[in-house]
Amino acid sequence: MVKVAVIGGGLAGSEAVYRIAKEGIPVDLYEMRPSKMTPAHRTGYFSELVCSNSLGGKEITTGAGLLKKEMEMLGSLIVEVAKREAVPAGGALAVDRERFAKGITEIIESMDNVNVIREEVKEIPKGYDYIVIATGPLTSPDFSKSLMEITGEEYLYFYDAIAPTVDAETVDFSKGFWGDRYSKGEGDYFNCVLTQEEYERFYNALMEAEQVPLKDFERAVFFEGCLPIEEMARRGKETLLYGPMKPVGLIDPKTGKQPFAVVQLRKENKEGTLLSLVGFQTKLKYPEQKRVFRLIPALENATFVRLGSIHRNTFIQSHKLLEPTLILKKDKRILFAGQITGVEGYVASASTGILAGINVVRMVKGKQPVVPPKTTMLGGLVHYITEPKEELQPMNPNFALLPPLDKKVKDKQKRKLLKAQRSLSDMEEFTNLYL
């Protein structure tokens, strides 16, 4: 008899267990709550939402909305229960958090093939044919230690210091130039140029902007060598000019001179549709980030697909460790799912749980594991986290992950709608072929 374990009964673990058990395969679900809590969870329910009760936009022209639609096509438990327990929230799908998590828990606990084991896993359990690891951003410290043994110490991160990312289509490339410092490299950076006056305006706004207060369990982060941009700025007006905004080694081809200050944008994916602000990790409040960073002339009209943050977050460097099928390259019995893979947020985490579940089922049945095409939001996300890159920073579902359309469409909303329609049709083909 085949033996399958899922570790972690959060958003991703719940989806994985549901999928595996529904296909008639017995599965052990390990969850440490309620006997051992994470610093953010409050109950013993599976899929507890630890903060906001919103699962993001409903429209398919939003990243989370399109992903939820695709998840429905794949038979998502989370989306089904969320719709049943929805509370009015305008364009967003928000839920009654208690009824939502309780509903998921009741369904999972009542499934014949699920054996719930309420204990903390400290080491990868032995004797299983397949194991899905879905212990989330607050994976227990003991288990993190044993994860390091299978991932390698340098590939397991304990916090994310995220710099904002913009949609390349919304950057004003006339206000800067492409080029690497000291012309080393292949011109992969776009340098947004600031004059002294523009720098001062930016600096003053940064100094006045409001920060998110740190949670107790997040305080240690700054001691680990990761300073938010506003903290650096607080050390003196010139500090940024010797740090992330330094112009040295860069000559603006338009003037033949070194600019006063620059903000470098680096490609986050092969296609260059996503650009991140190098060294701009920040704890500023989200609306403040948009207001302050839009003072950088090239970003005046930029769409921020992800804003900066510094959080406690356990995640692996999936681009080194995982196949897009979420299978660990060096041990094909092990799959990862949820935020620990480097996706971000409730919905993205749950979606990777479905994929891990689908692939366990396929392997148990002797079939090849699969991955949805890049044109779908789920496919775009898993390809993003597993594609080669210098370093993986967590990513949420957004339209810049999807390949451009065959022909150029100027109107942003129309472009999103066409991309969403393409995703849904490709996901339908995927489900017809593989589910």
> Given strand 274-277, what is the order of strands in its sheet?
176-178, 189-194, 261-267, 274-277, 165-167, 304-306
Which of 142/300 has CB closer to ligand FAD?
A: 142
- Nearest residue to ligand FAD by CB is 10
Shortest distance, position 414 Cβ to ligand FAD, whole Å: 27
Interacting residue with ligand FAD among 4, 13, 114, 232 (CB under 6 A): 13
Which of 264/352 has CB closer to ligand FAD?
A: 352
Shortest distance, position 145 Cβ to ligand FAD, whole Å: 10
137 binds ligand FAD (CB under 6 A): yes
65 binds ligand FAD (CB under 6 A): no
**Which of 60, 280, 302, 329 has its CA nearest to residue 175?**
302
CA 95 to chain centre: 21
Strands 114-117, 309-316: parallel, antiparallel or unpaired by DSSP? Answer: unpaired
345 binds ligand FAD (CB under 6 A): yes
Binding mask 144-163 for ligand FAD (x = CB under 6 A): --------------------
> How far, in Å, CA of 295 to CA of 171, rounded?
13
Q: What is the DSSP letter of 164?
A: P
Shortest distance, position 50 Cβ to ligand FAD, whole Å: 5
**Which of 358, 338, 341, 370 has its CA nearest to residue 13?**
338
Shortest distance, position 344 Cβ to ligand FAD, whole Å: 6
For residues 68 and 347, the answer to whether their CB atoms sit within 8 Å is yes
63 binds ligand FAD (CB under 6 A): no
Shortest distance, position 40 Cβ to ligand FAD, whole Å: 4
> How far, in Å, CA of 190 to CA of 272, rounded?
11
Shortest distance, position 305 Cβ to ligand FAD, whole Å: 15
For residues 77 and 16, the answer to whether their CB atoms sit within 8 Å is no
Binding site for ligand FAD (CB under 6 A): 7-13, 30-33, 38, 40-41, 50-52, 120-121, 134-140, 143, 338-340, 345-346, 349
